[in-house]
Amino acid sequence: MNDALLKQYKKLGIDEDVVEFGEKILKELEPRFKRIDEIAEYNHLRVMEAFIRNKVDTECFNVTTGYGYDDYGRDTLEKVYADLFHGEDALVRPQITCGTHALALALFSNLRPGDELLSPVGKPYDTLESVIGIRDAVGSLKEYGISYSQVDLLPDGGFDFEGIKKAINEKTKLVTIQRSKGYATRPTLSVERIGELISFIRSVKKDVIVMVDNCYGEFVEEIEPLDVGANMMVGSLIKNLGGGLAPIGGYIVGDKKCIENAAYRLTSPGLGKEVGASLSVIKSFYQGLFFAPNVVASALKGAIFAANIYEKLGFSVHPNATEDRFDIIQAITFNDPKGLIAFCEGIQAGAPVDSYVKPEPSDMPGYESKVIMAAGAFNQGSSIELSADGPLREPYTAFFQGGITYQHAKQGILMSLQKMKEKGLVKL
């Protein structure tokens, strides 16, 4: 590293030994980073193909208000999403507030009283517990007479095929598969493994609807869940597909009937996709999607860098330093609240926004435990931007993700290491 660059790191409060520790690790990662760049290029070309085929033009960026009738930009964007991800239709709207909302929308619109929802991959992400009714909440699926069944993964992370077969019954209407790990340390599911699970489920019950929670997984691989038989894939635009530019929004892509149901639930029976103005955010949706493959690549490089640093220092990391990646999340287990808090303080200190703020564990809507969150983001809660969070419960695991640029991801990780060093929690 040249002297000017090292001097700049020092200006940001990162010691020379921390920088040098990171540089030694980075030299070993060049072949893996090259493969990530190849996947990013492939997915960029796919995005370009969808833009060109659907004739995206400057008229798509016009602002619409009120009812949003005949919103050309909105309708074209949904064609781009459907084309890009090989779905029959898509719903991509700023009126979908977050990933949890998108998932709730897909579930409520495609389930009816008396139906049963099955998760064959264990407990879903914390915020979905209230949606389902695992944790009592006003307006949950449980309140509407929709039951829930769950089959945990085997100790080795494999699917419990026998348990899944027993769990599927005449009431099973929809199966939800969470691709990412959530607040757990189980393996993230590759699209290939999701396809194997879908094939098995369909061999037991052919007409079941399969929904994949695709949050944090888009553009990590060269294929997506609809390519292996899912009926719907669902996610947030302040994660991967928004490319760090979308200020709000969520998406559902898949079978026409599933999307139609979701549209009527989002707006109103009789209105569906016909209404919903794109306001002034539509250009950011297009531009964010255009940037997304490269942004995801930056976040992946940051996750791999973090895994290699903290594994070398003796911490348990999931995925480990050498495993293949199927989402952008890196889990680091500290087995001590001090480590979790110090790590998050470092990520916050390395942020471009609110770097002076000290994150503290607190109660958060939808979460059972107190949660510490570090995110100095341009868009509030954007987890494609450099961020980290974790519940204040054993084993005190931080879930690190994001980095719109690789340079920022690298800097943030080094700042987290700096804070750990200053508190005497690591020795380099």
pLDDT at 262 over 90: yes
The closest alpha carbon to 94, from 310, 350, 343, 282, belongs to: 282
Pairing of strands 209-213, 232-236: parallel
136-141: list long-range contacts, CB under 8 Å, 24+ apart.
Answer: 141/107, 141/108, 141/111, 141/117
Which of 49-58, 124-133, 213-222, 232-241 bottoms out in mean pLDDT, i.e. has the lowest? 124-133
Q: Is a pLDDT exceeding 80 seen at residue 155?
A: yes
Domain residue spans in the chain? 3-43+290-422, 63-280
HEC sequence for 351-366: CCCCCCCCCCCECCCC
pLDDT at 343: 97
Identity (one letter) of the amino acid at 296? V
Q: Residue 186's pLDDT is what?
A: 82
What per-residue confidence (pLDDT) applies to 49?
98
Identify the sign of the CA torsion 369, 375, 379, 383: negative
Residue 170's pLDDT is what? 98
**pLDDT at residue 363, rounded to an integer:** 85
Decide if 3-43+290-422 and 63-280 have a common fold: no
Question: How crowded is residue 95: how many other Cβ atoms within 10 Å of its Cβ?
Answer: 18
Q: pTM of the entire structure?
A: 0.95
Rounded to whole angstroms, the Cα distance separating 286 from 101 reads 21
Q: pLDDT tens, 329-346?
A: 999 999 999 999 999 999
- pLDDT at 185 (0 to 100): 73
Average pLDDT, integer, range 147-155: 97
pLDDT at 115 over 80: yes
**Cis peptide preceding 359, ω within 30 of 0:** no
What average pLDDT does range 142-148 have in this prediction? 98
Q: Which pLDDT band holds residue 364 (cuts at 50, 70, 90)?
A: confident
Model confidence band, residue 274 (pLDDT cutoffs 50, 70, 90): very high
How far out from the chain centre does Cα 72 lie?
Answer: 28
Out of 37-41, 350-354, 362-366, least confident range: 362-366
pLDDT of residue 47: 98
**Gap between the Cα atoms of 222 and 226, Å rounded:** 12
For residue 169, which phi and psi values (nearest 5 degrees)? -140, -175
Mean pLDDT calculated for residue range 247-265: 98
How much is the mean pLDDT over the chain?
Answer: 96
Mean pLDDT of 216-240: 98
Which tens digit of pLDDT belongs to each residue from 7-28?
999 999 999 999 999 999 999 9
Q: What's the pLDDT at 357?
A: 95
* Cα distances (Å, whole numbers) of residue 181 to 178, 318, 328: 7, 9, 10
- 63-280 under CATH 3.40.640.10, yes or no: yes
Q: Are 172 and 205 in contact (CB under 8 A)?
A: yes
Query: Tell me: the pLDDT tens digits for 386-424?
Result: 999 999 999 999 999 999 999 999 999 999 999 999 999
Residue 5: its pLDDT value, please? 95
Cα–Cα distance measured from residue 327 to residue 189, given in angstroms and rounded to the nearest whole number:
8
What CATH topology corresponds to 3-43+290-422?
Aspartate Aminotransferase, domain 1 (3.90.1150)
- Residues 6+ positions from 324 with CB-CB distance below 8 Å: 190
Q: Is pLDDT above 80 for 261?
A: yes
Site of tokens 């800097």: 411
